[in-house]
Amino acid sequence: MLELKDLTFTIAKDGEDVALIDKATLSVPAGHFMAIVGPSGCGKSTLLKLIAGINVESDGNLYWNGRDLSTEGDLEPAEIGYVPQFSIAYDQLTVEESVESVVRLRVKTRGRAEFHELVDRVLEQTGLDALRHRMVKVLSGGQRRRLSLAMELVTDPVLLLADEVTSGLDPKSEHEIVKLMHALSRKHNRVVINVTHSLANLDLYDSVLVLHEGRVVYHGQPRALDHYFSVEEVEEIYPRLAKRTPEDWQTSWEKHRPDYYIALRSAADAAAKERAEESGEGESGSGGADATRAAATPGFLKQFSALFFRRCRIFARDGGQLFLQIAILLGFPALVILFALDGVGETRSLSDRLPQTLAEYQQEKEIVEHNLNLGGLVSGLVMFQVILLTLMASNNAAREIASERHIFEKEKFGGVRPLTYLASKLAFLGMLVVIQSVWMAVFVQNICHIPTVQFLPQLALLLLVNAAMTAVCLGISSLAKTADQASLLSIYLVGFQLPLSGAVLALPPIAGWATRPFISAYWSWAGIMNSLESSFRTAVDRVTETWLAPAWVCFAVLLAHVAIGLFLAYVGVKKSRWD
């Protein structure tokens, strides 16, 4: 049984506490199907999130089978199913793959036979078996709602909460979804609560809870609604509510609640007895034995592999993103080598003696100009590589978390560990970083022959600048409110890399020291400049006034950038971001 006693939820607005839910008191027996209805903005979804544990109550108590959830902890992730208003499935997956993904993340099965048996049972239970191979992106609204329900049923939750799952559906689809939820409430003594703005199909519910500006103004059988509100049709209830204050309606309901609850409990007891007789369990069938069970949540490695391989599958099926990645991978290194198709060339040495003739002086001048040009070319090629890798990093990570934040929040609510989710993202993005950086370094080096003393330090610095910017952009993605915001901030960050690096135009000393710690491109460029052959390093020194940090400092700072980005990403995924 679910019980609410004086449950209150307030928010601060204009310096005052505003109650979105005000002293809600009600009880819902096992095996019960309840609707929460009311005008827009009355607190329906807020109340559902309080029951789910997404919102934390400001006052009052919430009980499940006599256990105070306010003080003794929330239900286990497997005990509760929550279907939000938004889609919780990826468009690039099939119906079957979507359910399989949730099973891998939320249920510890014993072998492949039990795994597939669970998937098949859930698909059949929700009428999706014939659609198991259909892509999510082509499903109708009603089919998507069924899939959302199916994805919550994999743990056999004892409490199933649905938020506007019938919103926007045609009457036939709405009736089918409500009928499905009614049937689900009859299995395993499950409590099913559906938030809906629609007053159709109320006869399929065991009880209806009416909210008005955050206050409970009715909770009883659907057939008593018209009598209680003195209306001829239930559609007249909302206009009727506006004729009295919420306080008056609440006071009136508290006075009449005992009488209506007698009828509600009698109907609930009769329904429980009927279900018990049909199942052959006698009186014990209504005791709610199933209400204490909870599926075991898979460990770190199983959740990690499920998330990682799902991300790879989605990436492989996203034609636009896949084409963009290939185009960048092939096009960006080609842009670099356009400036040195014949290679960088060699520096020339000046004569040990002073020029004696005009011809010798002219020759010395040409040598100096040649070396200066080579120094500028090498510096520019390296910076071009570095900037393009930061741009790749931004493309990799800017939308990675922000674009699927709602789905992640739902999966986190269902038992997915934030650290596991972040680790799967790092594994996927790390794969892109290695491929991009190694290809950029090897391809450019083989054609341009950038004159470093050793190739591996150059490769490591290119890897690190890509990794650093990827980590920072991932942190931005996890903290941003929207994917567009994350993408815009990341692009701005990349845009500042070139002018603030000092590689093209030297910054004033104060500005350089103030901005340089935050510019990943500078540290990669400076580290590679320090690894050049001595003659080229001398040429670079003559074309730039920017201080070049020692190589070990460059490595250390880039590693610090990676660490800071990962810390921000972890903070972001730990933080709840439902709205």
Distance set, CA 462 to CA 312, 390, 393, 451, 467 (Å): 24, 10, 11, 15, 9
Contact 371, 348 (CB under 8 A): yes
Q: Can you tell me the distance from the alpha carbon of 236 to that of 202, in angstroms, rounded to the nearest whole number?
A: 14
Sequence letter at residue 327: A
**Residues in the chain, total:** 579
Q: Is 220 helix (H, G, I), strand (E, B) or coil?
A: strand
User: What's the average model confidence in pLDDT over 394-398?
Assistant: 95
Of the residues 237, 261, 292, the one at which a domain ends: 292
Q: Does residue 62 lie in a domain region? A: yes
**Domain CATH code at residue 51:** 3.40.50.300
> Within this chain, do residues 233 and 347 fall inside the same structural domain, yes or no?
no
Same domain? For 358 and 438 the reply is yes
More confident of the two residues 488 and 516? 488
Q: Are 397 and 429 in contact (CB under 8 A)?
A: yes
Last residue of a domain, one of 292, 318, 350: 292
Q: Which residue has the higher pLDDT, 150 or 506?
A: 150
On whether the CB atoms of residues 70 and 57 are closer than 8 A, the answer is yes
User: Strand 215-220 vs strand 207-212: parallel, antiparallel, or unpaired?
Assistant: antiparallel
Average pLDDT of span 30-50: 93
CA gap 270, 85 in Å, rounded? 33
For residues 276 and 351, membership in a common domain is answered with no
38 and 253 in contact (C-beta within 8 Å)?
no
63 neighbors 3 (Cβ within 8 angstroms):
yes
DSSP secondary structure code for residue 210 in this structure: E
Number of domains in the chain: 2
Give the residue among 105, 106, 103 at the shortest CA–CA distance from 114.
103
| Position 523 pLDDT exceeds 90 | yes
Tell me what pLDDT residue 305 has.
97
Residue 285's pLDDT band, with cuts at 50, 70 and 90, is very low
Map tokens 């492989």 to a residue. 316
**Cβ(61)–Cβ(5) under 8 Å?**
yes
- Is 272 in the same domain as 339? no
**What are the structure tokens assigned to 386, written together?**
């570095």
Quick one: pLDDT at residue 283?
43
Quick check: 399 pLDDT over 80? Answer: yes
Distance CA 539, CA 226 (A): 90
Segment 184-196 shows an average pLDDT of 90
Residues 229, 327, single domain; the answer is no
- Final residue before a domain boundary, out of 269, 292, 315: 292
- How far is Cα 468 from Cα 465, in angstroms, rounded to an integer? 5
In a domain, 579, yes or no: no
Q: Are 372 and 450 in contact (CB under 8 A)?
A: no
CA dist 196 → 149, 201, 211 (Å): 15, 11, 11
Query: Residue 378: inside a domain, yes or no?
Result: yes
Kindly state whether residues 199 and 310 are assigned to the same domain: no
Give domain status of residue 440, yes or no.
yes
DSSP structure string for 309-323 = HHHHHHHHH-HHHHH
Q: What pLDDT score does 278 carry?
A: 66
Same-domain pairing of 287 and 309:
no
Q: CA 497, CA 433: separation in Å to the nearest integer?
A: 18
Tell me, what's the pLDDT at 286? 40
For CA atoms 504, 510, 512, 514, give the dihedral sign.
Answer: negative
In a domain, 299, yes or no: no
Which phi and psi angles does 288 have, rounded to 5°? Answer: 80, 35
pLDDT value of residue 529: 87
Residue with tokens 């978390």: 401
CA distances in angstroms from 345 to 43, 337, 364, listed in the order given: 72, 13, 18
Task: Round to whole Å and give the CA distance between 98 and 107.
Answer: 14
Contact of 433 with 322, CB cutoff 8 Å: no
Is residue 297, in this structure, part of any structural domain at all? no
Q: Is the pLDDT of residue 373 over 80?
A: no
Scanning the structure block, which residue is given the tokens 């990826």? 90
Question: Is there a single domain that holds both residue 444 and residue 542?
Answer: yes
Query: Among residues of the chain, what percentage have pLDDT more than 70?
Result: 92
Pairing of strands 33-37, 59-64: unpaired
Q: Is residue 205 within 8 Å of residue 37, measured between CB atoms?
A: no
The reply to whether 124 and 200 lie within a common domain is yes
Examine the domain organization and report whether 225 and 336 are in the same domain: no
Q: What is the mean pLDDT of residues 519-543?
A: 85
Mean pLDDT of 336-347: 77
**Looking at residue 229, what is its pLDDT?**
93
In a domain, 483, yes or no: yes
Same domain, 151 and 277: yes
Residue 360 binned pLDDT confidence (cut-offs 50, 70, 90): low
At 500, is the pLDDT very low, low, confident or very high (cuts 50, 70, 90)? Answer: confident
User: How far is it, in rounded angstroms, from Cα 442 to Cα 86?
Assistant: 45
pLDDT in tens, 140-156: 999 999 999 999 999 99
Average pLDDT for 223-242:
91
**Domain co-membership, 221 together with 319:** no
Give the pLDDT confidence score for residue 353 in this predicted structure. Answer: 60
Is residue 538 very low, low, confident or very high in pLDDT (cuts 50, 70, 90)? confident
Q: Which amino acid is at 565?
A: G
CA distance 152 to 102: 8
CB 201 within 8 A of CB 35: no
pLDDT band per the 50, 70, 90 thresholds, residue 569: very high
330 closest CA partner among 482, 181, 229, 440? 440
β-partners of residue 194 are 35, 162
Separation CA 571–CA 526 (nearest Å): 31
Q: Are strands 33-37 and 207-212 parallel, antiparallel or unpaired?
A: parallel
Instruction: Report the 3 state secondary structure along 441-476.
Output: HHHHHHHHCCCECCHHHHHHHHHHHHHHHHHHHHHH
Local confidence band at 279 (pLDDT 50, 70, 90 cut-offs):
low
Q: What is the pLDDT of residue 543?
A: 74
The torsion angles phi and psi of 333, rounded to 5 degrees, stand at -60, -35
Please provide the average confidence, as pLDDT, over all residues in the chain. Answer: 88
When computed from its CA atoms, the radius of gyration of the chain, rounded to whole angstroms, is 32
Residue 436 token pair: 């991009």
Residue 15 within any structural domain of the chain: yes
Three-state SS at 110: coil
Domain with 217 in it: 2-292
pTM above 0.85, yes or no: yes
Separation CA 461–CA 525 (nearest Å): 8
Q: How confident is the model at residue 435 (pLDDT cuts 50, 70, 90)?
A: very high
Q: What is the model's pLDDT at position 453?
A: 84
- In contact, 333 and 444? CB cutoff 8 Å: yes
Average pLDDT over residues 161-171: 89
pLDDT on residue 269? 80
